[in-house]
Amino acid sequence: MVLWGFICVSVFFIFFIVFSGERESRRDFSISKEGSYIEGFRIVSKKDGTDALIITARRADFSKDETLARMDAVTMDIKKEGALLSADHGTYNMNTKDLTLEDNVTLRARDTVIHAGNLSWNPSGEILSAEGKVLIKSNKLTIEGEGLTATKDNRVKLMRNVKAIFN
């Protein structure tokens, strides 16, 4: 009789441990399914039938309404200009097509490299802008400043504390 009681209690504990663990793993699984994400994220913007702009990211996590994509290891290839923009992180708005890049932002175009802490791209006005410190290096010139605006007609403005060094 004692043996029968011991077996019943043991079986009860085994079921309790197994099923409580299963419920816990189900809970964790449903939490990870709340937000959608894509590994190997890629957006291609075409103009006149050719690729004009390609945005890629190692991973993109989407907001619940799927209008914003928070990206890691972002690159933006601007085909027409022969420019490549890269950053550690970025946010892409699926509705407006606005792109904000953060952390180790680098733009390479021909013989010029631009470094910034953050950079925003507004495709409707084709305006590239940065708020913080900006460093522009080319073969002949190094320019530092704060705040940047670049327009589609290749006009680049540094807003404050501008310093230039001729190499």
Q: Where are the domains of the chain?
A: 1-34, 37-166
User: Is pLDDT above 60 for 152?
Assistant: yes
Q: How far is CA 55 from CA 3, 23, 25, 63, 126, in A?
A: 68, 40, 35, 18, 15
Residue 47 bridge partners (DSSP) = 50
According to CATH, the topology of domain 37-166 is lipopolysaccharide transport protein A fold (2.60.450)
Q: How far apart are CA 77 and CA 140, in angstroms?
A: 25
Query: Per the confidence metrics, is the pTM higher than 0.75?
Result: no
The residue among 25 and 78 whose pLDDT is bigger is: 78
CB atoms within 10 A of CB 28: 10
The answer, yes or no, to whether residue 22 has pLDDT greater than 50, is no
What's the pLDDT band for 34 if we cut at 50, 70, 90?
A: low
Average pLDDT, the chain: 79
Q: Which tokens sit at 162?
A: 């501008």
Residue 14 in 3-state DSSP?
Answer: helix
60 touches 71 (CB < 8 A):
yes
Beta strands in the chain (DSSP E): 37-47, 50-62, 68-78, 83-93, 99-109, 112-122, 127-137, 141-150, 156-166
Q: Is the pLDDT of residue 141 over 50?
A: yes
